[in-house]
Amino acid sequence: GTTIPISSEKAAPERQQPSSLDECRRCDLWQNATQAVAGQGARRAKIMLVGEQPGDQEDLAGKPFVGPAGDLLDKAMDEAALDRRTVYVTNAVKHFKWEPRGKRRLHKTPAQKEVMACRYWLETELETVAPDVLVALGSTALKSILQTGSVTMKDYMGAPFEHEGRWVVVTYHPAYALRVPDRESRQAAFAAIVEALKTAQQLAS
Ligand code: URA
């Protein structure tokens, strides 16, 4: 009889999409990263936290927010009485962008074209998890969610808004709360993150 080949290549739509995040070549960041880091958490979480991109430790571990910024995020979640197991944590960009600085790998902010290339993966996460509330941790996350590079965090801080049928709460990136030079600003940034997480919980319930 006749065999009809069912290969993924034949079945692929005209515009070829990467079949998995690990094989993603939508931008060049995969070249210098150890691995892609997908989001992690509850599959039907009401709240999705969106960071920027994996850091050095996340790149090695293959999990989001497990390094110093993750520790601070965990503390903020504790303070906001938000259980990390009930939320979904991800990043706007899934590969670590960095430049060598001595023996260290120094984080580089992703370009908007990289953010837009990776929006494809955030979209699949949004479809799967279907959260009611997004928490944008920093400017890159906001630019990914709104799909434009010409937005300023300050215009959205402390003012949750609706976008494409879900709430968006904007706050500082946890790494910012670690690195601002003076202690008072660090504490204020931390407090703002805690407030944003509390707001997200109210909006989700
Ligand atoms: N910073 C991020 O934005 N995401 C991580 O996963 C870790 C650090």
Average of per-residue pLDDT across 185-198: 98
CB of 59 sitting under 6 A from ligand 1 = no
Q: Any residues with CB less than 8 A from the CB of 39 and at least 6 apart, and which?
A: 48, 64, 88, 89, 90, 91, 125, 129
Determine the atom of ligand 1 nearest the C-alpha atom of 175.
1
| Ligand 1 mean position, distance from CA 123 (Å) | 18
Q: Is the CB of 175 under 6 A from ligand 1?
A: yes
The model's confidence at residue 16, banded by pLDDT at 50, 70 and 90, is low
Q: How many helices (H) and strands (E) does the chain have?
A: 7, 8
ipTM score: 0.93
Distance CA(59)–CA(45), nearest Å, equals 24
C-alpha–C-alpha distance, residues 106 and 98, integer Å: 5
Mean pLDDT (whole number) for 161-166:
98
Query: In the structure, what pLDDT confidence band is assigned to residue 11 with cuts at 50, 70 and 90?
Result: very low
Record the tokens describing residue 79, joined without a space: 């303070």
User: CA torsion 186→187→191→192, rounded to 10°?
Assistant: -30
Task: Tell me phi and psi for residue 91, to 5 degrees.
Answer: -130, 155
> What's the pLDDT at 10?
46
- Rounded CA-CA distance 71/60 in Å is 16
Instruction: Please give the DSSP secondary-structure letter assigned to residue 44.
Output: T
Sequence ranges of the domains in the chain: 24-204
CA of 28 to the centre of ligand 1 (A): 19
Residue whose CA lies nearest to ligand 1 atom number 8: 55
Residue 47 β-bridge partners: 133
Query: Ligand 1 centroid to 68 CA: how many Å?
Result: 9
Given a cut of 80, whether residue 4 has pLDDT beyond it is no
Give me the pLDDT at residue 36, please. 98
CA-138 nearest atom, ligand 1: 3
- Looking at residue 15, its pLDDT comes to 52
- pLDDT tens digits, one per residue of 54-106: 999 999 999 999 999 999 999 999 999 999 999 999 999 999 999 999 999 99
User: Is the CB of 92 within 6 Å of ligand 1?
Assistant: no
The 10s digit of each residue's pLDDT in 17-54 is: 667 999 999 999 999 999 999 999 999 999 999 999 99
Stretch 114-134: mean pLDDT, rounded?
A: 98
Laid out side by side, the sheet with 40-41 consists of: 40-41, 88-91, 47-51, 133-137, 166-171, 161-163
How far apart CA 139 and CA 152 sit, in angstroms, is: 7
Report d(CA 132, CA 40) in Å as an integer: 17
Tally of CB atoms within 10 A around 123: 12
Ligand 1 neighbour 51 (Cβ under 6 A) = yes
What is the distance between the alpha carbons of residues 51 and 27, in angstroms, rounded to a whole number? 18
Q: Are the CB atoms for 184 and 171 separated by under 8 Å?
A: no
* CA pair distance 114, 133, nearest whole angstrom: 24
- As a whole number of angstroms, the distance between CA 39 and CA 90 comes to 4
What's the CATH fold of domain 24-204? Uracil-DNA Glycosylase, subunit E (3.40.470)
Strand (E) or helix (H) holding 169: strand 166-171
39 alpha carbon to ligand 1 midpoint, in Å?
Answer: 11
Report pTM: 0.91
